[in-house]
Amino acid sequence: MNKMRILFYSACLVLYSNQVYATDNVILTKGSDTLLVVAQAWAEAYDRVKPEITVSVGGGGSGTGFDALLKGLVDIANSSRPIDTFELERAARLRISPVERTVGYDALAVYIHRDNPLSTITFKQLEDIFGKNAELKHWTDLGIEVPGCEGQRIVRVGRQNNSGTYTYFRNSILTKSRRFDLGILDMLSSKDVVHLVEKTPCAIGYSGLAYATPMVKMACVSKDEKSACINPSIASANDGSYPIARPLFMYVNEPARVEIKNYIDWVLSQEGQCIILRKGYAPVRPVKCE
C-alpha cells in the first residue's frame, strides 16, 4: 500500500512539474549571482508591465544557469560569462540551440577593506596574489601595512567554480598557471564576497561593481606598470576602458516561446535598460532615464 501511495504521489508530482514548465504565462530564469539583483528588479517591474506574466528568478551561478537551461528546467540562463565549449558540445548532443543576448556590462571590481592604504593594483600583482603558488602572501610584500591586519597576511576571497565571475577573473588575470591557488575563501554569492571584505581588514576579493558599499574600497586597476590605472565605474565598463569590464548575458534555447522573446525585448528596451543602469551596471546603449 505504501509503495502504491508513493507511486501515485510521484506521478502527480511529475504531471504538476510538466504543467508548470509548459505554462505560457510563467518564465523561469536562473544563473549568475552578478545579475541576480537586476534580474529580480526586472521581474518585479515586468509584473507591472505584463501582470499576466510571472517571471521567476533564481541564482546559483552562471554554470548552474547553463545546466538548468540544457536540462530544460528554465527558459533563460543569466550569465556573466559566455557559454563554454563543453556546454556547447553538450547542447549539440541534446540537439539544443542556446542563443546569446547581451543585456548589459559590468566592471569586475577588486575589493579591499576601507582602511587598506592600497590604491592601485596591476594584473601581475593580482595573479601573484590569487594564482597557483602565489608569490605575494603578505601586504608588506606590496610595500604597505594594513591597519588592523594581524600578521599582514593577505586573506583572499573569491567565488565558487560554478560562478561566471570566477571563470572570467581566472581567464582574464591568471594567464600563467590558469589555476587559482589553494586556500582562497570561496563564497556562494557576489554579495558574500563584499560582505567578508567589509569585515576583514586583511582581505582582498573580486565581485561585480553593483555590490559596492561605503564600507569597502575598490582598487584602481591597470594591465601593467606602464598602463594607466582605471577605476571601475559604469562609464569605464560601458566604454571598455576598465581592463576587467565584461558583458552580461541572457541565453535562451531557440525556438523560444513568444512570451520569452517579448520579455527579453523589454529587458533591452529603454525601460529595462534604465533599470540595469540604476542597479549599478552599464546599459547596452546610451539611455535617457528619469
Mean pLDDT of the chain: 91
Instruction: Tell me, yes or no, whether 234 and 254 share the same domain.
Output: no
| Domain extent at residue 172 | 107-244
Domain count, the chain: 2
66-81: pLDDT as tens digits: 999 999 999 999 999 9
Residue-wise pLDDT tens digits, 112-164: 999 999 999 999 999 999 999 999 999 999 999 999 999 999 999 999 999 99
pTM score: 0.84
Q: Looking at the structure, do residues 193 and 259 belong to the same domain, yes or no? A: no
- For every residue of the chain, which 3-state class applies, written as one string? CHHHHHHHHHHHHHHHHHHHHHCCCEEEEEECCCCHHHHHHHHHHHHHHCCCCEEEEEEECHHHHHHHHHCCCCCEEEECCCCCHHHHHHHHHCCCEEEEEEEEEEEEEEEEECCCCCCEEEHHHHHHHHECCCCCCEHHHHCCCCCCCHHHECEEEEECCCCHHHHHHHHHHCCCCCCECCCCEEECCHHHHHHHHHHCCCEEEEEEHHHCCCCEEECEEECCCCCCCECCCHHHHHCCCCCCEEEEEEEEEECCCHHHHHHHHHHCCHHHHHHHHHCCCECCCCCCCC
Residues 67 and 181 in one domain: no
| Same domain flag for 31 and 46 | yes
pLDDT, tens only, 2-52: 333 333 333 343 333 333 444 679 999 999 999 999 999 999 999 999 999
55 shares its domain with 147: no
Whether 255 and 229 share a structural domain:
no
CATH number assigned to the domain comprising residue 272: 3.40.190.10
Same domain for 161 and 203, yes or no, is yes
Same-domain pairing of 102 and 114: no
Residues 111, 240, single domain; the answer is yes
DSSP bridge partners of 54: 26
Other CB atoms within 10 Å distance of the CB of residue 287: 14
> What is the Cα–Cα distance from 194 to 261, expressed in whole angstroms?
34
- Taking 80 as the threshold, does the pLDDT of residue 173 lie above it? yes
First to last CA, the chain: 63
